[in-house]
Structure 1
Amino acid sequence: MSLLPTVRRIVTGHNDKGEAIFDSDAELAPYNPATRGPDPAKEGETGFTTVFRTNGAPADCTNPWVDIHNKTVQLADKVGSTARVVDFAPGTPGLMHRTVSLDFAIILNGEIELELDNGVTKMVKQHDIVVQRGTIHSWNNKSSENVRVLFVLLPAQPVKVGDKELESTPLPKYLLGTAGEENANL
């Protein structure tokens, strides 16, 4: 079984004179989030490629950045943004969960079903963009091919309905990051 395709990440920055530079140009291999290796993800498996994370908003583009790819971290951050590519394995039923973040999902290839907690679904396909606003949902790959989605997750206030604050749902420990943080989101 072959490995999932890599993601090329190019990061720009500045030299000590304030001139623009290419700070990094790397091929990132998706890892399997269900393993503690993290082990490289293969075709037919789910793969995560954490492209970049900021430490807050607004983002600090002055300080050196930290490469967190191939490190198990929270799916979303409470104060910073996260960019991640997710390869959904074929035939994978989704994990129903609520996010406390504003998520932009850009379907890079294939088509995948987005299901809401009331059972309503929409098929989204290559080049479609979903704006996920704190609802309970799951991503279901009903095809026979991996589906690749780029997620950009921004910190958000919890949704309030009347006097009730809608919290994130519990996730499996392997999706919570190295510190076992609760309220992580996808």
Structure 2
Amino acid sequence: MAEMSITRVVTGVNNERKAVFTSVGTPRFAAAGGMDIGNVWGTPDDGSVTVGKGGSDEPVFAPFFPEGTGTRLCVVHWPPAGAADDADSDGDAPDSEAAQPGLIGAFEEANPGMHTTETIDYGICLSGEIYLELDDGQEQLITPGTIVVQRGTRHAWRNRSNEVCTMVYALCGAKWADS
């Protein structure tokens, strides 16, 4: 199965306070760590989100993982088993970091794919299948129509199939609580 085509439609308000389409097109996709990631939309981490005439038509994606009150919406095309290993070995780490600031640094060197972030992530599988692995080795197969609520846990995504898996993720900044 080929990667799913994604179109982003953005709305806003014009000078007469009338709802308008401000942009229709394809989000920017960039390879990072073997994945193909489309940055759909992101809001500032400092709580300065506005809507209406003063709202920005430019999404925020630096850093990749939101902090504070920031949000990010992205589409990830996870390559089939083996393809990600090939992409990771081509020395693209500096380019990946430039394309998706803070993403590659979140991954553990000693445990490829494993990472933990201070975010609440909503993941929706659109096509293909992928395994969600937790830090103790537990796994859950994620298939189209499955929605994952990831609450700051250490995890990895593993595509063991022969086809691309397309996931949509909404990432919301959160704070870690020990009590």
**C-alpha distance in 2, partners of 1:121/1:4?**
24
- 1:5 Cα offset (Å): 4.5
Kept in 1, the 8 Å contact 2:119–2:175? The answer is yes
Give the TM-score normalised by structure 1: 0.71
Count matched residues: 147
Give the TM-score normalised by structure 2: 0.74
Instruction: Look up the match of 2:51.
Output: 61
Instruction: Look up the match of 1:159.
Output: 177
1:83 and 2:82 correspond: no
**Unaligned 5+ runs, structure 1:** 35-44, 163-186
Kept in 2, the 8 Å contact 1:103–1:131? The answer is yes
C-alpha RMSD over aligned residues: 2.2
Q: 2:163 aligns with which of 123, 138, 145?
A: 145
Structure 1 counterpart of 2:145, one-letter code: H
Alignment deviations for residues 78-119 of structure 1 (CA, whole Å, 9 cap, x no partner): 131000001111114761011100000000111100000000
Instruction: Look up the match of 2:63.
Output: 74
Structure 1 counterpart of 2:72, one-letter code: T
Kept in 2, the 8 Å contact 1:4–1:47? The answer is no
Q: What pairs with 1:26-37 in structure 2 (closer than 5 Å)?
A: 26-28=25-27, 30-34=29-33
**C-alpha distance in 2, partners of 1:148/1:82?**
17
- 1:67 Cα offset (Å): 3.0
Kept in 1, the 8 Å contact 2:65–2:173? The answer is yes
- 1:73 Cα offset (Å): 3.2
Q: What pairs with 1:33-182 in structure 2 (closer than 5 Å)?
A: 33-34=32-33, 46-56=35-45, 57=47, 59-62=49-52, 63-68=54-59, 73-79=62-68, 80-91=70-81, 92=84, 95-160=113-178, 162=179
Instruction: Look up the match of 1:37.
Output: none
Alignment deviations for residues 120-164 of structure 1 (CA, whole Å, 9 cap, x no partner): 00001001000000100000000011101000000111131x5xx
